[in-house]
C-alpha cells in the first residue's frame, strides 16, 4: 500500500483535506522536450481510495449540504494529464529552470463518495444526500474538478520549482 499525502483544498464554501491512502499499480507516460523546456506526462491509476475531512455549508447539485466530518471516496480509472512549460532564469550568473504554472486535466472514470456526519449526523438526511450525490456523481465532480485541477497545478508547480531551482540547468540536464 502506497501513501501519498496531499493538501488542504478550498472550493467556494467547501474545505476538503485529504490523503490518498492506497492505489494499486499505475501506468505512466512521460514526454520531455528539452529544446522547448516542455514536459508532458500522463498517469493512469486504475483504483484509488481517498480518505479525509470535509467542512461545507453550500449548495451542490441543487441540494443544500451542511456538515463536517470524515469523508471517503473510491475512484476507478483516475487519469491526469499534465503539461509543464519551463523557462531558464539567471541567478548569480548561473542558469536554472523555473516552471510556469502547470496545466492539468483530470478525468475520473467512476467513483463513490461518502460524507459522514451530514446535517449534524442525521442518518436519514445524510444517507439521502449521499445517495443523491452518488447517483449524480459526474455532476458533482464537474463542480469540484476545475478547482481541484487548479489547486493541484499550484501545489505541484511549487514542488517542481523547489526541486529545479536547487540545481543548475546543466546539473539537471547534463
Residue 137 has a pLDDT of: 92
**Euclidean distance between CA atoms 96 and 118, whole angstroms:** 49
Compute how many other C-beta atoms are within 10 angstroms of the C-beta atom of residue 113.
Answer: 17
Residues in CB range of 138: below 8 A, 6 or more apart: none
Class assignment of domain 4-172?
alpha beta
Residue 21 has a pLDDT of: 53
Looking from the CA of 112 toward its CB, the CA atoms found within 13 Å total 3
**Euclidean distance between CA atoms 118 and 39, whole angstroms:** 42
Domain regions of the chain by residue span: 4-172
First-to-last alpha carbon distance for the chain, in angstroms, is: 35
Per-residue burial over 42-53, b if 16 or more Cβ lie within 10 Å, else e, is eebbeebebebb
Residue 149 has a pLDDT of: 83
Residues in CB range of 6: below 8 A, 6 or more apart: 18, 19, 20, 155
Cβ contact 88:38 at 8 Å: no
Residue 116 has a pLDDT of: 94
- Model pLDDT for residues 65-84, shown as the tens digit of each residue: 888 899 899 999 989 899 99
Residue 4 has a pLDDT of: 38
What percentage of residues in the chain have a pLDDT greater than 90? 48
* Residue ranges in the chain whose pLDDT is less than 70: 1-26, 61
Cβ contact 75:46 at 8 Å: no
Amino acid at each position: 500500500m502506497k501513501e501519498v499525502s496531499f493538501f488542504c483544498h478550498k472550493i467556494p464554501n467547501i474545505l476538503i483535506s485529504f490523503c490518498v491512502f492506497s492505489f494499486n499499480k499505475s501506468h505512466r507516460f512521460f514526454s520531455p522536450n528539452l529544446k522547448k523546456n516542455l514536459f508532458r506526462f500522463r498517469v493512469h491509476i486504475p483504483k484509488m481510495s481517498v480518505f479525509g475531512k470535509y467542512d461545507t455549508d453550500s449548495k451542490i447539485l441543487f441540494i443544500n449540504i451542511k456538515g463536517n466530518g470524515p469523508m471517503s471516496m473510491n475512484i476507478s480509472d483516475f487519469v491526469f494529464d499534465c503539461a509543464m512549460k519551463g523557462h531558464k532564469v539567471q541567478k548569480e550568473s548561473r542558469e536554472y529552470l523555473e516552471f510556469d504554472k502547470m496545466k492539468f486535466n483530470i478525468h475520473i472514470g467512476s467513483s463513490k463518495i461518502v460524507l459522514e456526519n451530514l446535517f449534524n449526523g442525521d442518518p436519514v438526511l445524510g444517507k439521502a444526500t449521499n445517495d443523491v450525490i452518488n447517483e449524480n456523481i459526474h455532476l458533482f465532480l464537474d463542480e469540484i474538478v476545475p478547482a481541484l485541477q487548479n489547486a493541484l497545478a499550484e501545489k505541484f508547480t511549487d514542488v517542481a520549482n523547489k526541486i529545479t531551482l536547487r540545481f543548475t540547468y546543466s546539473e539537471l540536464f547534463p
